[in-house]
Amino acid sequence: MASRKVPGDVLGMDAVMDSLEAIIEVCEGKGIDTDRLILDPAIGKWVPEKDPIYDFETFDRFERLQLFGKPVLAALSRKSFIGEVLNKSADERLYGSLAATAIAVHKGAHIIRTHDVAATTDAVRIAEAIRGRQPVVEEKGFEVSVLDITNPDDAALVMKNIGVTETGSTIMKNKTVNRVLRISNITTTEALIIKQEILARGGDAALERDAVSHEAEWTDVIVMGTLLQVRRLADKLECQARNLPLISKLIKDTLKQESDVEYRYMKKT
């Protein structure tokens, strides 16, 4: 189970990933066969300070656990985060548990702990039928597979597992994750500057045809690039003229929101 000092005390998916990685390393160091491990991301209120939003994030990012290449247990039946959302007691949480089960299985859970076996089995079968397989081709001893990586730290973990140095994985991890941003209501001149700057960093940008020919005064722009390229774009825009310093700030703030658990999962009031 993902833990640091006491069982289940990790808060947030990054902490879950770090904890499980450390546990696997300890097992390897003690000669334990890690192929026999089952990973538990510690869903539920194991410690008083664990707010339900941390469980929400775990489910939303559950597919990250597949990168360890080991079976993952989702012990979620009737858990407190379900009661928090539905305002129902433990014995009234069947449907909430089934919804959470379907999400977990669809995102890669291999084992489900449940109080309601028959109903949960139906939910699992539907989720498994809907869940697609990752592309992988093997031939003559060679294999090519597609990695579903949306977090730079996960990329670093995969690199580490194939023997890349810590320094190398730290340098390269932000090159593995792409971002597509929409920047709205800017002048054509600002959009063209953004396009020029992201092109200079290896990315690209799309804007309406009339903006390219300066026939339109205002436009939206779609910026695409690796996380590293987008961050470097924001740094460059920070010292430009017009509204580009503000756009730089908005880009940086938007990227920060991706890892802001309270922003992403706190109930809207």
Would you write out the chain's pLDDT as a tens digit for each of its 269 residues? 999 999 999 999 999 999 999 999 999 999 999 999 999 999 999 999 999 999 999 999 999 999 999 999 999 999 999 999 999 999 999 999 999 999 999 999 999 999 999 999 999 999 999 998 889 999 999 999 999 898 999 999 999 999 999 999 999 999 999 999 999 999 999 999 999 999 999 999 999 988 888 888 899 999 999 999 999 999 999 999 989 999 999 999 999 998 899 999 887 65
Query: How many angstroms from the chain centroid is the CA of residue 228?
Result: 17
* Complete edge-to-edge strand list for the sheet that includes strand 178-187: 178-187, 218-226, 204-207
Supply 219's token pair. 């436009």
Which residue from 65, 153, 46 is spatially nearest to 109, judged by alpha carbons?
A: 65
Residue 230 near residue 179 (C-beta atoms within 8 A): yes
A 10 A CB-CB count for 251 gives 22
Hey, what are 54's tokens? 């941390």
173/194 Cα distance (integer angstroms)? 24
Structural domains of the chain, with CATH: 13-133 (3.20.20.20), 174-261 (3.30.1370)
At 100, give phi and psi (nearest 5°).
Answer: -65, -40
